[in-house]
Amino acid sequence: MSPLLSSSKPLLLTGQILAQVKQVVKVGQVVVGFSRNISGLFKHAITVGKRVRTETNIAAGAVSVNSAAVELALMKLPASSHATARMLVIGASKMGKLVIKHLVAKGCTKMVVVNKTEERVTSIREELHGIEIIYKPLTEMLTCAVEADVVFLLAPHLKPHYFSKKM
């Protein structure tokens, strides 16, 4: 997977980039050759960056591929059904855990997690009190997928399968 598309990488880095530019200006002020023109250019970039962040919603909403995937999936469901939607998360890795946390933050209270082993699912369940997380082994993945309203495939070792309503 490309680092730019990694689901653990932020989509919108504007806040971090703005902080880095500020650091460059601070360090540059004591460096020979960092002229007033260059300093002015960076300061103008900081001003524009701040203005963009305050006048637009650029920093609002999804900030990672995981949260964007959850938001996109939930847009397809009525908001009133988020708590009762049948969510399936395939893979309990770090990315799977992040998706589960985003689902919980959006009001989902019950989900099935398919994973090779139950240990990671148990760990996630213990961390998220009050959320019903049901473990299923990989051998039950297809059955779970057919029963789910939304499926998140977060197991890099698995190749995506295509499901139809006829299955």
Q: Angle, to 10 degrees, between the axis of helix 36-55 and the axis of helix 14-28?
A: 160
What the block records as the tokens of 16 is 């971090």
Closest CA to 68 of 17, 11, 2: 11
Instruction: Identify which has the larger pLDDT, 156 or 17.
Output: 17
pLDDT at 161 over 60: no
| Average pLDDT estimate for 57-65 | 64
C-alpha distances (whole Å) from 126 to each of 4, 59, 152 are: 32, 31, 21
Scan for tokens 């989509």, then name that residue. Answer: 11
Contacts (Cβ under 8 Å, ≥6 apart) of 80 = none
* Three-class DSSP labels, 97-146: HHHHHHHHHCCCCEEEEEECCCHHHHHHHHHCCCCEEEEEEHHHHHHHHH
Supply the pTM of this predicted model. Answer: 0.62
Cα 22 from chain centroid (whole Å): 27
* Nearest-angstrom CA–CA distance, 109 and 2: 32
Predicted confidence band of residue 160 (pLDDT cuts 50, 70, 90): low
Mean pLDDT of the chain: 81
